[in-house]
Amino acid sequence: MAAQQPLYLKNIWYLAMYGGNLKKGKLLSKEILGEKIVFGRDKTGKPFAMKDNCPHRGVPLSYGWFDGDHIQCCYHGWKFDTDGICREIPALAPDSSINVCKIRTQSYPCREINKTIWIYFPEKKSAFEPKVQPPDLLLNAPENFRHVETVILPCNIDHSVIGLIDPAHVTFVHQSWFWRSSKSLRIKEKKFEPTPMGFKMSRHKPSSNSKGYKVLNGHTSTEINFEIPGNRIEHISVGEKNKIISITTLTPLNENETELNQFFYSSLNIVNFIWWPLKKLGKTFIGQDLDVFNKLKEGLQKNPKLLLVGDPDTQARWYYDLKKQWQQAQEDNTPFTNRLNPQILHWVT
């Protein structure tokens, strides 16, 4: 499907977790890009991230104690600040000439945006300043997402992204009374444009054969963005004042698992009255995807040769092109330039 290239993109931001999962005063260990990372919040509530290993003997720092300023390793009591710099080695004699501040564990840029936490993975471990900004979540500063749904997909980031941006599976995977019937197939024509970090389906009226959009009153239009490494951001305008934001993020945990997070925001008052049934329908929708990904895992065990065919698979080809362009820019130490061109695609769904 694609030429051999690194599975993970570096010098880029990944969704780490929903901010509500990271409690003040607590440490949380998580595998991302095959690396064990320990997350926490300092006394001000600011999140931080560092490699979950003490550089002394390798014990995970997440087993240690955290007072809001320092993590203390449970093995020999080495203390590190939230930037990963060692501040104390209790076993050293008071008159020791060793400068413990020269010892550090890898730390990662970490930011919280609209109660979502993002982590930046540099190509070089010594690099600390991000080359790019985290994605724009289309919410104002005081606005936070109303709901997040999380599942683990049993495949790598590439297969997960292709499933996320694939328009043809909807007909067969998401057949349901509340969304779409296999009897309502229609030819679709969508205009796509390049964006700084990916591509977008230009603003358009939602598909008339998608029942989920029909409950919205007033003039409705939608724009769908995809950005590397794996973020799908849909902005639905309802009338002149209201909006719905639906964001799906894909975070590679390792070579065999990818975490999918679905975030939802709405300014519509009606959502308050239909929230619980809406939440249940969302779970059903994501559950349908998870079910087919479990079947996909079985089919990929022998690493079969796979095909990308026609307009329905064009977005998948764009994704691989973007990965290749990004990797080349990092190797050349040059700014990333998206070379995709505007295009109109057609498919039946």
Each residue's pLDDT tens digit, 207-219: 655 555 555 555 7
Number of Cβ within 10 Å of residue 266's Cβ equals: 21
106: domain range? Answer: 12-121
- Are 308 and 182 within one domain? yes
Predicted local confidence at residue 218, as pLDDT: 55
pLDDT tens-digit map of 256-265: 999 999 999 9
CATH of the domain at 201: 3.90.380.10
User: Please, which pLDDT band fits residue 248 given cuts at 50, 70 and 90?
Assistant: very high
Parallel, antiparallel or unpaired: strands 242-252 and 198-204: unpaired
Predicted local confidence at residue 22, as pLDDT: 96
Residues 6+ apart with CB under 8 A from 313: 166, 168
Average pLDDT over residues 265-269: 89
Evaluate if residue 320 carries a pLDDT over 90: yes
Buried b (16+ CB within 10 A) or exposed e, 316-332: bebbbebbeebbeebee
- Are 233 and 319 within one domain? yes
- Are 178 and 315 within one domain? yes
State the DSSP H helix or E strand holding residue 249, giving kind and residue range, or none if neither: strand 242-252
Predicted local confidence at residue 181, as pLDDT: 60
Q: What total number of domains does the chain contain?
A: 2
pLDDT tens-digit map of 270-316: 877 777 777 888 888 899 999 999 999 999 999 999 999 999 999 99
Give the Å distances, CA to CA, from 309 to 299, 313, 344. 19, 6, 16
Kindly report the length of the chain: 349
Give the Å distances, CA to CA, from 220 to 140, 229, 243, 334, 348. 21, 29, 9, 40, 22
- Are 104 and 247 within one domain? no
Evaluate if residue 178 carries a pLDDT over 60: no
pLDDT tens-digit map of 149-174: 999 999 999 999 999 999 998 888 88
Evaluate if residue 104 carries a pLDDT over 70: yes
Examine residue 338 and state whether it is found in any structural domain, yes or no.
Answer: yes
Examine residue 264 and state whether it is found in any structural domain, yes or no.
Answer: yes
Stronger pLDDT, 251 or 183, i.e. the higher one: 251
Examine residue 72 and state whether it is found in any structural domain, yes or no.
Answer: yes
Predicted local confidence at residue 119, as pLDDT: 98
pLDDT tens-digit map of 209-245: 555 555 555 578 999 999 999 999 999 999 888 999 9
- Are 221 and 337 within one domain? yes
Examine residue 142 and state whether it is found in any structural domain, yes or no.
Answer: no
- Are 115 and 152 within one domain? no
- Are 296 and 338 within one domain? yes
Evaluate if residue 206 carries a pLDDT over 80: no
Examine residue 186 and state whether it is found in any structural domain, yes or no.
Answer: yes
- Are 114 and 151 within one domain? no
- Are 284 and 186 within one domain? yes
Burial class (CB in 10 A: 0-12, 13-18, 19+), 149: middle
Q: Residue 329 corresponds to which amino acid?
A: A
Examine residue 131 and state whether it is found in any structural domain, yes or no.
Answer: no
User: Please, which pLDDT band fits residue 195 given cuts at 50, 70 and 90?
Assistant: very high
Among 121, 138, 159, give the residue marking a domain's end.
Answer: 121
Predicted local confidence at residue 166, as pLDDT: 94
Average pLDDT over residues 324-346: 96
CATH of the domain at 93: 2.102.10.10
- Are 165 and 114 within one domain? no
- Are 98 and 161 within one domain? no
Predicted local confidence at residue 279, as pLDDT: 81
Among 69, 87, 121, give the residue marking a domain's end.
Answer: 121
Examine residue 17 and state whether it is found in any structural domain, yes or no.
Answer: yes
Stronger pLDDT, 174 or 84, i.e. the higher one: 84
- Are 286 and 339 within one domain? yes
Among 62, 86, 121, give the residue marking a domain's end.
Answer: 121
Examine residue 135 and state whether it is found in any structural domain, yes or no.
Answer: no
